[in-house]
């Protein structure tokens, strides 16, 4: 007989078989060495399990008719203890050590929330100090913050702030040397959110069609709870937000959307992918730029994701064709200041060498003075990539147009002169004709008078 308590415990372990159970799961207790066809009785803390329900786990237990193993389902911490299997004159003792892992908020989180894990253990023997290691959904070790564990019975761990991509099966690895425990308990974390991880910026040219999308991850993570949400737009950070649409998703994953505003022209695309929130802005206006924010609400908690829409336009001052020797200013403009890796650039396509004018850092526009016709193209360049571009065609007031003007005036005077001559000529001839007619009348009168005279004579 050993005097040391610890050694006593060890001895105790050798005599009894140790088995680990996890709360909420089932455990199968093995009656080792039982000959085939032999009857068996299972006891828990000396109480018969299957005699009029004396033990608490009776209604959650069953004996396998062939193997005689005892299966205890939906384990509880209080099921820990000594189980004995008796056949003939033999007794097999099993010590059941139960762990219970609970996750705060039942494992349902929104981004940036911090889960709290609680690990409890129960056993009839003294409880060991546990070595706990956590593996995330990518099977990488994470370092949680251990809160002061009050007793070896209970350990409290705080994880880090979650992201939607943390959704999945995590693993809690529990080890102890005495008694020898090497147990994994898996648990699910679901982080409802957007597959768009970060707030993004979208560039569009004026009058183009823009589709803004938010991919919700509720199907992917098998989120089985209802939630609601809305989509807002505001032109500037300080401006008031306008609700464009609201939506809800039922526990069965059915999604409903309702348009909330009529002044703002947008469509909900009919053929949009499943579990997305989408709006389509056709012929986008310069003043439809700004922040589009999609917000989710679950149990009074919120998360959101923003898309900033930046619209680009080009214009000329003065507008219209460029007359010879004149100058005009081409203006390329975006609706909000650009980040430092992005700038605007005017390029004269058919100039040799190619004329280029770059915007200053964080500027919202770039201007170029133009004195020759041609195609000018404004590009929004991000990290050397042209994201969007718009062309402006400068037309020279055509040369024939001036000829037409001169020609018209010359032609006009000729025409006038001609008409005048014609008038004069016709006027003269008319006068001549009148004189001739007068003479004729006079002659006729004269003749008549003569005749009369002749008749009279
Ligand atoms: C541990 O198990 C014992 C025996 O069933 C029970 O009396 C006790 O309440 C359990 N402890 C906890 C914390 O459940
Ligand atoms: C716990 O386990 C880890 C790895 O399994 C090991 O590195 C560490 O030393 C152990 N800590 C204790 C206190 O046993
Ligand atoms: C427990 O899980 C970890 C991580 O998935 C794995 O590396 C380890 O082998 C598992 N151990 C046992 C005993 O299943
Ligand atoms: C979800 O939205 C639909 C359509 O707008 C509405 O009829 C329904 O009552 C909403 N359900 C919930 C639970 O909010
Ligand atoms: C945007 O500008 C257009 C004309 O350029 C105007 O018709 C429209 O009402 C404006 N929209 C908003 C939201 O200010």
The pair phi, psi for residue 231, each rounded to 5°, is -130, 125
Ligand 5 neighbourhood includes 234 CB (under 6 angstroms): no
Ligand 2 neighbourhood includes 178 CB (under 6 angstroms): no
Q: Which residue has the higher pLDDT, 403 or 229?
A: 229
pLDDT at 439: 59
Give the residue-averaged pLDDT of 349-377: 85
pLDDT at 283: 93
| 82 cis-preceded (ω within 30 degrees of 0) | no
Ligand 1 neighbourhood includes 142 CB (under 6 angstroms): no
CATH superfamily of 318-394: Immunoglobulins (2.60.40.10)
Nearest ligand to the C-alpha of residue 83? 1
Report the 10 Å Cβ neighbour count for 55.
22
Q: How many angstroms separate the alpha carbon of residue 98 from the centre of ligand 1?
A: 10
Q: How many angstroms separate the alpha carbon of residue 362 from the centre of ligand 5?
A: 25
Question: For the stretch 193-214, what's the b/e string if a residue is b when 16 or more beta carbons lie within 10 angstroms of its beta carbon?
Answer: bbebeeeebbbbbbeeebebbb
Ligand 1 neighbourhood includes 57 CB (under 6 angstroms): no
Nearest ligand to the C-alpha of residue 183? 3
Judge whether residue 373 has pLDDT over 60.
yes
pLDDT at 426: 60
The CATH number fitting domain 1-191, selected from 2.60.40.10, 3.40.640.10, 3.10.180.10, 2.40.50.100:
2.60.40.10
Fold (CATH) for 200-311: Immunoglobulin-like (2.60.40)
Of 29-38, 308-317, 339-348, 396-405, minimum mean pLDDT range = 396-405
Q: How many angstroms separate the alpha carbon of residue 44 from the centre of ligand 1?
A: 13
Residue 298, CB half-sphere, CA atoms under 13 Å: how many? 22
Ligand 1 neighbourhood includes 122 CB (under 6 angstroms): yes
Nearest ligand to the C-alpha of residue 128? 2
pLDDT at 456: 37
Q: How many angstroms separate the alpha carbon of residue 262 from the centre of ligand 5?
A: 13
Ligand 2 neighbourhood includes 130 CB (under 6 angstroms): no
Burial of 412 (0-12, 13-18, 19+ CB in 10 A): exposed
Q: How confident is the model at residue 405 (pLDDT cuts 50, 70, 90)?
A: very low
Share of the chain above pLDDT 90, in %: 60
Q: How many angstroms separate the alpha carbon of residue 142 from the centre of ligand 2?
A: 13
What DSSP line would sit under 132-155, residue for residue?
EEEE-TTS-EE-PEEEEEEETTEE
* pLDDT mean across residues, the chain: 84
pLDDT at 89: 86
Q: How many angstroms separate the alpha carbon of residue 250 from the centre of ligand 4?
A: 9
pLDDT at 22: 97
DSSP summary character for residue 52: T
Report pLDDT digits (tens) over 239-253.
999 999 999 999 999
Q: How confident is the model at residue 262 (pLDDT cuts 50, 70, 90)?
A: confident
Q: Of 246, 276, 281, which is closest to residue 261 (Cα–Cα)? A: 246
Q: How many angstroms separate the alpha carbon of residue 68 from the centre of ligand 3?
A: 30
Judge whether residue 417 has pLDDT over 80.
no
Spatial contact of 127 and 121, defined as CB atoms under 8 Å apart: yes
Bridging pattern class, strands 181-191 and 168-176? antiparallel
Give the residue-averaged pLDDT of 266-293: 93
Of 1-5, 43-47, 67-71, 396-400, minimum mean pLDDT range = 1-5
Pairwise CA distance, residues 455 & 448, whole Å: 10
Give the residue-averaged pLDDT of 107-132: 95
141-199-223 Cα angle (round to 5): 60
Judge whether residue 294 has pLDDT over 50.
yes
Give the residue-averaged pLDDT of 184-192: 97
Q: Whose CA is nearest to atom 6 of ligand 1?
A: 78
Q: Of 282, 346, 334, which is closest to residue 309 (Cα–Cα)? A: 334
Nearest ligand to the C-alpha of residue 173? 3
DSSP summary character for residue 221: T
Task: State the closest ligand 1 atom to the C-alpha of 77, by its place in the atom list counted from 1.
Answer: 14
Report pLDDT digits (tens) over 4-16.
333 333 334 445 7
Give me the residues paired with residue 438 across strands.
Answer: none
pLDDT at 227: 97
Q: How confident is the model at residue 117 (pLDDT cuts 50, 70, 90)?
A: very high
Q: Of 311, 285, 324, 312, which is closest to residue 391 (Cα–Cα)? A: 312
Report pLDDT digits (tens) over 297-352.
999 999 999 999 999 999 999 988 988 888 999 999 999 999 999 999 999 877 66
Give the residues surrounding ligand 3 with Cβ less than 6 Å away: 135, 139, 171, 173, 182, 184
Pairwise CA distance, residues 261 & 326, whole Å: 47
Nearest ligand to the C-alpha of residue 248? 4
Q: Whose CA is nearest to atom 10 of ligand 5?
A: 287
Judge whether residue 255 has pLDDT over 80.
yes
User: Which of 206, 287, 333, when mutated, tests ligand 5's pocket best, judged by the most ligand atoms within 8 Å of its CB?
Assistant: 287
Do the domains 200-311 and 1-191 match in fold?
A: yes
pLDDT at 429: 61
Spatial contact of 342 and 331, defined as CB atoms under 8 Å apart: no
pLDDT at 17: 87
Ligand 5 neighbourhood includes 265 CB (under 6 angstroms): no
Ligand 1 neighbourhood includes 78 CB (under 6 angstroms): yes
Q: Which residue has the higher pLDDT, 149 or 364?
A: 364
pLDDT at 31: 87
Quickly tell me which residue has 């998360």 as its tokens. Answer: 303
Residue-range domain boundaries for the chain: 1-191, 200-311, 318-394
Nearest ligand to the C-alpha of residue 141? 3
DSSP summary character for residue 59: G
């Amino acid at each position: 007989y050993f005097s040391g308590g610890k050694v006593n415990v060890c001895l105790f372990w050798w005599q009894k078989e140790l088995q680990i159970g996890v709360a909420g799961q089932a455990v199968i207790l093995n009656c080792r060495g039982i000959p085939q066809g032999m009857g068996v009785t299972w006891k828990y803390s000396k109480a018969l399990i299957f005699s009029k329900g004396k033990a608490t786990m009776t209604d959650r237990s069953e004996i396998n008719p062939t193997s005689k193993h005892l299966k205890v389902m939906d384990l509880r911490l209080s099921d820990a203890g000594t189980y004995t299997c008796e056949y003939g004159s033999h007794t097999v003792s099993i010590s059941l050590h139960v762990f219970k892992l609970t996750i705060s908020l039942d494992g349902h989180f929104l981004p940036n929330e911090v889960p709290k894990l609680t690990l409890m253990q129960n056993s009839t023997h003294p409880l060991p100090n546990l070595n706990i290691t956590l593996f995330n959904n990518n099977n990488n070790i994470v370092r949680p913050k251990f809160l002061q564990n009050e007793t070896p019975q209970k350990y409290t761990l705080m994880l880090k702030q979650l992201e939607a991509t943390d959704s999945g099966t995590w693993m809690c690895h529990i080890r102890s040397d005495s008694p020898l425990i090497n147990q994994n308990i898996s648990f699910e974390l679901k982080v409802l959110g957007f597959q768009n991880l970060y707030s993004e910026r979208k560039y569009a040219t004026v009058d183009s069609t823009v589709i803004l999308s938010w991919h919700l991850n509720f199907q992917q993570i098998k989120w089985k709870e209802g939630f609601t949400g809305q989509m807002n737009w505001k032109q500037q950070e300080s401006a008031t937000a306008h609700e464009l649409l609201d939506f809800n998703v039922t526990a069965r994953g059915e999604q409903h959307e309702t348009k909330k505003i009529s002044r703002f022209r947008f469509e909900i695309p009919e053929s949009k992918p499943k579990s997305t929130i989408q709006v389509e802005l056709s012929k986008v206006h310069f003043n439809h730029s700004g922040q589009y924010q999609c917000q989710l609400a679950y149990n009074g908690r919120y998360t959101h994701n923003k898309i900033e829409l930046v619209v680009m336009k080009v214009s000329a001052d003065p507008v219209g064709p460029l007359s010879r020797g004149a100058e005009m200013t081409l203006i390329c403009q975006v609706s909000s200041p650009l980040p430092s890796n992005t700038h605007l650039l005017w390029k004269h396509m058919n100039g040799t060498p190619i004329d280029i004018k770059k915007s200053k850092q964080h500027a919202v526009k770039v201007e170029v003075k133009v004195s020759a016709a041609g195609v000018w193209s404004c590009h929004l360049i991000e990290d050397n990539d042209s994201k969007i571009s718009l062309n402006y065609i400068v037309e020279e007031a055509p040369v024939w147009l001036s000829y037409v003007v001169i020609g018209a005036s010359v032609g006009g005077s000729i025409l006038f002169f001609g008409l005048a001559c014609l008038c004069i000529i016709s006027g003269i001839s008319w006068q001549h004709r009148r004189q001739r007619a007068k003479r004729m009348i006079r002659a006729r009168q004269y003749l008549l008078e003569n005749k009369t005279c002749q008749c009279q004579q």
